RNA sequence: GGGCCUGUGGGGUAGCCUGGUCUAUCCUUUGGGAUUUGGGAUCCUGAGACCCCAGUUCAAAUCUGGGCAGGCCCA
């Protein structure tokens, strides 16, 4: 129904037809979350908020504008962003004395304030996060929800700690949170430490989460940074230690963006449209009554009864009462990825059952009326599990492991990697060695080194084309 | 960063080369009505478009320049 061969085309068609995101706003890289898309976003963020708050994070909200001097304070950091900052230069007709940046990210804004908040070790740790829009003046191709000029959803967490060890543990916690988050969404990920040349500007090191899209390109969907004392030194985040001395705080930050929404769509979707994990589906169950003349009222009544039952269970349920043919409704809701559809018709009433259709496997089966409650709950679990498993398998097919020895000539490695990238797409894993782990190799194979990762107990360099 | 291409109702298109026949084609969408309903029904009747600015010309959807927006290829 929708061509899966051309991912790019499939993706834009889904966004439009499933009413997730409207790309037609007249500014490059800026679009609109439509109600349906917005709900997916909200339920996704609900999960993330829950996971963060369970582990002691608190939500805050910082201003969009950052004065130039503040943004420029950390040398390495600003270098990483200066070419892509949007500037507010005027107030009305008057030029501003200090230009104001639309935040490309909020480290500098937040750390300026942290200085006011931190005096002694008892003020630590601080674990805060916010969900905001950020801006990057992208010159390359923008892509809806993947490469935006206005990133509408950026969940950024920032922490400050009394010791390096604590910060290190915080990095681990963040990784755990994100792992759990992606697990909930059924999005398979690879976790790797980014190479020096590709880490977050100003960070000591960066750990990144990547998944692989159906076209075989890798995409970064989460990052965790250990900032050490880089920022705390420039922002003078000094505190009195337990022993009465002075030290600068140790910081971490980690972020998730709109790309998660793009991933939910891309990773699980099929030729019929979206397939949504139940936790983030705006409508979890849709009831389609089959209205034959003469038997209309009975069916409608039973549908309403069922609706009330599910509603009481806290399920997001709707009845589709539109006066169009059932087939049309089926396609409509399948396109939108509704996980479960329940059909009720005269035949079902006779047999005291309902007909259930699950979106992920496209199976249809009957359930006795009295078993519906239990069935739906366990079905949600089965759907989650199945989607996760299927996505994992799909990604595995895009992971190619190559085996080289220390004396394999570099040219041969390059040749093999290029060949495999071309034929198999996805990512190529090369046994770790220093001569391979260099920017030089990226140029030779015309792809990026995502980093170093553990895979099936061995250490590999991960290479792939990225978004 | 360099190169190529495109812009017509909400979406997809025909027309553009060779200006006039355009009151702009077809599919989809959409309002109203009839009929139908276990996988995209049908009929009747309405609605809806030449990206923006300037230029050439008696005349521009069509030609020229610029802007904006989008797509593709190479680094």
Question: What is the greatest pairwise CA distance in chain A?
Answer: 85
Over the stretch A48-84, which tens digit does the pLDDT of each residue have? 999 999 999 999 999 999 999 999 999 999 998 888 8
CA of A134 to C1' of B2 (A): 29
Residue A267 structure tokens:
């990773």
Nearest nucleotide to A8 (CA to C1') is B71
CATH topology of domain A7-268: BirA Bifunctional Protein; domain 2 (3.30.930)
**pLDDT band (50, 70, 90) for residue A323:** very high
Does the nearest atom of strand B lie within 7 Å of A41's Cβ? no
* Cα–Cα distance for residue pair A68/A65, rounded to 1 Å: 9
Average pLDDT over residues A18-27: 92
CA of A440 to C1' of B4 (A): 30
Nearest nucleotide to A24 (CA to C1') is B69
CATH 3.30.110.30 fits A399-464, yes or no: yes
| CB-contacted nucleotides of strand B (7 Å) | 1, 10-11, 35-41, 68-72, 75
Does the nearest atom of strand B lie within 7 Å of A27's Cβ? yes
> Domain residue spans in chain A?
7-268, 279-382, 399-464
Please, are residues A300 and A309 in contact by the beta-carbon 8 Å criterion? Answer: no
Return mean pLDDT, chain A: 95
Average pLDDT over residues A101-111: 96
- Smallest Cα–Cα separation from A372: which of A435, A289, A309? A309
Could you give the C-alpha distances from A230 to A113, A321, A394, in angstroms and in order?
Answer: 16, 60, 40
* Cα–Cα distance for residue pair A150/A25, rounded to 1 Å: 12
* Cα–Cα distance for residue pair A59/A131, rounded to 1 Å: 8
pLDDT at position A9 over 90: no
Q: Which residue is nearest to nucleotide B72 (CA to C1')?
A: A141
The beta-strand segments (E) located in A48-164 are: 58-59, 65-67, 86-91, 94-102, 126-135, 150-161
Does the nearest atom of strand B lie within 7 Å of A28's Cβ? yes
- The residues that bridge with A252 in the sheet, in sequence order, are A159, A226
* Cα–Cα distance for residue pair A71/A107, rounded to 1 Å: 9
- Smallest Cα–Cα separation from A278: which of A335, A209, A338, A235? A338
CATH topology of domain A279-382: Rossmann fold (3.40.50)
Nearest nucleotide to A27 (CA to C1') is B69
Round the CA-based radius of gyration of chain A to a whole number and report it: 25
- A 315-354: CB within 7 Å of strand B: 323-328, 330-332, 334-335, 343-349
* Cα–Cα distance for residue pair A106/A103, rounded to 1 Å: 6
Please, are residues A384 and A280 in contact by the beta-carbon 8 Å criterion? Answer: no
* Cα–Cα distance for residue pair A174/A161, rounded to 1 Å: 14
**pLDDT band (50, 70, 90) for residue A8:** confident
Please, are residues A283 and A317 in contact by the beta-carbon 8 Å criterion? Answer: yes
CA of A347 to C1' of B36 (A): 19
* CA dihedral over A398, A404, A406, A408, signed as positive or negative: negative
Does the nearest atom of strand B lie within 7 Å of A8's Cβ? yes
CB burial readout A121-135, b (16+ within 10 A) else e: beebbbbbbbbbebb
Q: Which residue is nearest to nucleotide B69 (CA to C1')?
A: A26
What pLDDT was estimated at residue A83?
87
Average pLDDT over residues A260-273: 96
* Cα–Cα distance for residue pair A426/A409, rounded to 1 Å: 24
**How much is the ipTM here?**
0.92
Give kind and range of the element (H or E) at residue A353: strand A353-358
- Taken as a whole, chain A contains a residue count of 467
What pLDDT was estimated at residue A139?
81
CA of A106 to C1' of B19 (A): 56
CA of A11 to C1' of B7 (A): 21
CA of A189 to C1' of B64 (A): 53
Does the nearest atom of strand B lie within 7 Å of A216's Cβ? no
Average pLDDT over residues A440-459: 92
What pLDDT was estimated at residue A244?
95
**pLDDT band (50, 70, 90) for residue A416:** very high
Residue A257 burial class via C-beta count within 10 angstroms: exposed 0-12, middle 13-18, buried 19 and up: buried
- Smallest Cα–Cα separation from A118: which of A3, A236, A271, A215? A236
Nearest nucleotide to A26 (CA to C1') is B69
Please, are residues A345 and A329 in contact by the beta-carbon 8 Å criterion? Answer: no
CA of A25 to C1' of B68 (A): 12
Looking at residue A143, what DSSP letter applies? Answer: B
Q: Which 3 state secondary structure label does DSSP give A339?
A: coil
């Amino acid at each position: 129904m929708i061509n899966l061969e051309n991912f790019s085309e499939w993706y834009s068609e889904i966004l439009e037809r499933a009413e997730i995101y409207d790309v037609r706003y007249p500014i490059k890289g800026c679009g609109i979350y439509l109600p349906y898309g917005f709900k997916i976003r909200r339920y996704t963020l609900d999960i993330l908020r829950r996971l963060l708050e369970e582990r002691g994070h608190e939500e805050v909200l910082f201003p969009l504008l950052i004065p130039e001097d503040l943004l420029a304070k950390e040398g390495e950091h600003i270098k990483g962003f200066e070419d892509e900052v949007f500037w507010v230069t005027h107030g009305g007709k008057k030029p501003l004395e200090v230009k104001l940046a639309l935040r490309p990210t909020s480290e500098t804004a937040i750390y300026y304030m942290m200085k006011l908040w931190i005096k002694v070790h008892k003020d630590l740790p601080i674990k805060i996060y916010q969900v905001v829009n950020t801006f990057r003046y992208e010159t390359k191709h923008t892509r809806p929800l993947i490469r935006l000029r206005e990133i509408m959803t950026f969940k950024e967490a920032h922490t400050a700690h009394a010791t390096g060890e604590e910060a290190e543990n915080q990095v681990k916690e963040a990784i755990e949170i994100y792992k759990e988050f992606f697990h909930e969404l059924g999005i398979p990920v690879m976790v790797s430490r980014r190479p020096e040349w590709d880490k977050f500007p100003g960070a000591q090191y960066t750990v990144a989460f990547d998944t692989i899209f159906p076209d075989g390109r890798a995409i970064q969907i989460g990052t965790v940074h250990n900032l050490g004392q880089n920022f705390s030194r420039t922002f003078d985040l000094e505190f009195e230690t337990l022993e009465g001395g002075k030290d600068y705080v140790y910081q971490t930050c980690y972020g998730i963006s709109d790309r998660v929404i793009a991933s939910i769509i891309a990773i699980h979707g099929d030729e019929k449209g979206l397939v949504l994990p139940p936790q983030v589906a705006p409508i979890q169950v849709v009831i389609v009554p089959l209205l034959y003349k003469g038997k209309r009222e009975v069916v409608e009544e039973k549908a309403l009864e069922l609706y009330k039952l599910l509603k009481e269970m806290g399920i997001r349920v709707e009845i589709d009462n539109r006066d169009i043919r059932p087939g049309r409704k089926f396609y409509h809701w399948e396109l939108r990825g509704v996980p479960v559809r329940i059909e009720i018709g005269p035949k079902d009433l006779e047999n005291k059952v309902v007909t259930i259709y699950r979106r992920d496997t496209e199976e249809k089966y009957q359930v006795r009326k009295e078993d519906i409650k239990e069935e739906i709950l366990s079905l949600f679990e089965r759907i989650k599990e199945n989607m996760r498993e299927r996505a994992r398998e799909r990604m595995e097919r895009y992971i190619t492991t190559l085996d080289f020895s220390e004396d394999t000539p570099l040219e041969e490695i390059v040749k093999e990697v290029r060949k495999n990238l071309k034929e198999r797409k996805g990512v190529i894993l090369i046994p770790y060695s220093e001569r391979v782990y260099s920017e030089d190799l990226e140029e030779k194979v015309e792809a990026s080194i995502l980093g170093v990762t553990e895979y099936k107990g061995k250490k590999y360099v991960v290479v792939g084309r990225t978004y």
